[in-house]
Amino acid sequence: MNIVRIENVFKEYTLGTSQVQALKGINLQIKSGEFLAIAGPSGSGKSTLLNLIGCIDTPSSGKIYINNQDVSGQTPDQLSELRARTIGFIFQTFNLFSVLSAAENVEYPLLQFKELTASKRQERIIKFLDIVGLQAFAHHRPNQLSGGQRQRVAIARALATHPKVILADEPTANLDHKTGEDILQLMKQINRDSGTTFIFSTHDAKVMAMAERLVRIEDGRLVEEDRVLA
């Protein structure tokens, strides 16, 4: 089953008096459970493509289907609901709330799920901090954690909403080599254990080597695709 389907997508931005084409006729299908990397140099369009898949932005033309829903013409409120329940995000800068503990950061996106009681939220917090190996650091704030630990909190937060897809934008960029390797191995294990789809935007050779499928983008166009047995 395809969890993401992109059909002839273009994305244009206005820059001053000029129109800039960030994406040019993208066609891409991503199956549920894939561990896929979208690779390309800075300015190639990979982050734009990730933002479209994440329903943070909308295409200028073309169709995008997420979990069989056509998201191309949905309202901001509809997209917000879809993001909350279907997509998890992991960023290179972690994007944790500095005033909240690790547990509170994981809980934060769950607060919009009115059907979850406080005890159910607590169950998820414990479960996912345990999965990323940070149960002993639940009450630590981000400034008391290393970069790798902060990224693990971000992974737990992304997983806590039970998303079908996790989008990771350069998740190893601010980590040293060993820590980056450990984080990638953790995400790979989660992918294998839970079947959650992972989609990376990257130019990191480590991420490309770990991916089961590698899609390359240049100048707004998909130019190459490789399958890797990882």
pLDDT of 227? 63
Query: How many Å apart are CA 87 and CA 68, to the nearest integer?
Result: 14
Main-chain dihedrals φ then ψ at residue 221, nearest 5 degrees: -125, 145
Query: How many Å apart are CA 27 and CA 5, to the nearest integer?
Result: 8
Among 114, 53, 48, 120, smallest CA distance to 83 is for 53
Q: What is the CATH number of the domain that holds 149?
A: 3.40.50.300
Is 80 within a domain?
yes
Residue with tokens 């999965």: 131
Structural domain containing residue 84: 34-61+75-227
Total length of the chain: 230
Is 5 within a domain?
no
Query: How many Å apart are CA 97 and CA 217, to the nearest integer?
Result: 32
Number of structural domains the chain divides into = 1
Cβ–Cβ < 8 Å for 225, 193:
no
Is 1 within a domain?
no
Is 21 within a domain?
no
Query: How many Å apart are CA 199 and CA 170, to the nearest integer?
Result: 10
For 146-160, letters b (16+ CB in 10 Å) and e give: eebbbbbbbbbbbbb
Q: What pTM did the predictor assign?
A: 0.92
| Amino acid in the structure at residue 99 | V
Reading the block at residue 63, the tokens are 């169709």
pLDDT of 230? 46
Is 2 within a domain?
no
Is 115 within a domain?
yes
Output the tens digit of pLDDT for each of the chain's 230 residues.
899 999 999 999 888 888 889 999 999 999 999 999 999 988 899 999 999 999 998 899 999 999 999 998 788 888 888 899 999 999 888 999 999 999 999 999 999 999 999 999 999 999 999 999 999 999 999 999 999 999 999 999 999 999 999 999 999 988 999 999 999 999 999 999 999 999 999 988 989 999 999 999 999 999 877 765 44
Is 29 within a domain?
no
Is 185 within a domain?
yes
